[in-house]
Amino acid sequence: QQQVKQSPQSLIVQKGGISIINCAYENTAFDYFPWYQQFPGKGPALLIAIRPDVSEKKEGRFTISFNKSAKQFSLHIMDSQPGDSATYFCAASGRTSGSRLTFGEGTQLTVNP
Amino acid sequence: EPEVTQTPSHQVTQMGQEVILRCVPISNHLYFYWYRQILGQKVEFLVSFYNNEISEKSEIFDDQFSVERPDGSNFTLKIRSTKLEDSAMYFCASSVGAGYGYTFGSGTRLTVV
C-alpha cells in the first residue's frame, strides 16, 4: 500500500513537445505529492509539489495534474527542452504514514534537439 | 540558496569495513533523512531523525546501520560492516516539516569491493 507506481520508464520527446509522466498510488493517507528532477551524479531536486486539495498546479513550464478519486497524478512539461533531459521521480508522503517519501521508479526523459 | 552538503562524494571500502558518511543539513531544518539509490533504481528511504532520535526506519535499516547527530550541524550514517550489496548512492536530506519540503544533498557514492 506504500507503493507509488510510475510510467513510462523512459520517454523520448522532440524539442518543443509535451512530456507527460504518470504516477498512481494506493495509500489514501498520502497528502503531499512532489516531483523531483535528477541529473546524473546529483541528488534529486524538488521541481514542483501538490497537495490533494487542488487538482492542478502550474509553475512555469511544469504542471502537476491531480486526480484524487483515481489516486493518480501526472507531470506535464510544456515546450520540452534538451536541458530537461533527466530522470524524473514522483513521490508521496503523508502525515499519518510518517515522514518518509515514497518514490516512484523513475522516468528517464530524453528531449531531442 | 541553502544546500545540504555531503562528504565524501565517493568512497571505496573493503567488504567488512566500517564507513561513516557525513552530512551537513540546512541549518533551520528540523528533520533529517538518509536515502539510498542503487544504480539505475529508485530512491529508497532508510531512516528519518527528529529531535535527536530516530523517528522512522525502513526494513533496509538493520543493525548494521546507525545514525548520529554528534553536534549541532553534522548528521552521520554509519555502516558497521559493509557488504557488497551496500554499494549505492547515499543521499542525505533535510526538511522543515515532516515529510515535505525536502532538500537533498548531492550524495555519496559508496563502492564496496
A41 to chain B, any CB pair closer than 8 A? The answer is yes
Kindly indicate the confidence band of residue A99, based on its pLDDT and cuts at 50, 70 and 90: confident
CB–CB of B45 and A100 under 8 A? Answer: yes
CB–CB of B104 and A45 under 8 A? Answer: yes
B24 to chain A, any CB pair closer than 8 A? The answer is no
Residue A54 burial (CB count, 10 A): 10
CB–CB of A98 and B56 under 8 A? Answer: yes
CB–CB of B104 and A104 under 8 A? Answer: no
Interface test with B, best of A27, A100, A103 (most B CBs within 10 A): A100
Provide the mean pLDDT of chain A. 93
Q: Does A1 score more than 80 pLDDT?
A: no
Between B13-17, B68-72, B95-99, the lowest mean confidence (pLDDT) is in B95-99
Kindly indicate the confidence band of residue A96, based on its pLDDT and cuts at 50, 70 and 90: low
Chain A / chain B CB contacts < 8 angstroms? 67
CB–CB of A100 and B42 under 8 A? Answer: no
Residue B6 burial (CB count, 10 A): 23
pLDDT digits (tens, 9 = 90+) for B35-70: 999 988 889 999 999 989 999 999 999 999 999 998
Cell (9 digits) for A96: 499519518
The one-letter amino acid at B24: V
Contacts for B53 with CB less than 8 Å, ≥ 6 apart: none
pLDDT digits (tens, 9 = 90+) for A50-87: 998 999 999 999 999 999 999 999 999 999 999 999 99
User: Region B71-85: what's the mean pLDDT?
Assistant: 94
Cell (9 digits) for A58: 502550474
- Of all residues in chain B, the one with the smallest CA distance to A97 is B99
Report the distance separating Cα A104 and Cα B69, nearest Å: 29
Between A97-101, B36-40, B43-47, B99-103, the lowest mean confidence (pLDDT) is in A97-101
Q: Does A98 score more than 70 pLDDT?
A: no
Query: Are B88 and B37 in contact, with CB atoms under 8 Å apart?
Result: yes
Query: Are A57 and A48 in contact, with CB atoms under 8 Å apart?
Result: yes
* Tally of CA atoms within 13 A in the half-sphere of A105 that contains its CB: 8
Provide the mean pLDDT of chain B. 93
CB–CB of A99 and B31 under 8 A? Answer: yes
Report the distance separating Cα B35 and Cα B107, nearest Å: 9
Q: Does A97 score more than 70 pLDDT?
A: no
Give CA torsion, residues A75, A46, A78, A64, to 10 deg.
30
Q: Does B77 score more than 60 pLDDT?
A: yes
CB–CB of A95 and B99 under 8 A? Answer: yes
What is residue B6's predicted lDDT score, i.e. its pLDDT?
97
Burial class (CB in 10 A: 0-12, 13-18, 19+), B33: buried
Interface test with B, best of A4, A99, A102, A108 (most B CBs within 10 A): A99
| Beta bridge partners of residue B34, listed in sequence order | B47, B92
What is residue A41's predicted lDDT score, i.e. its pLDDT?
85
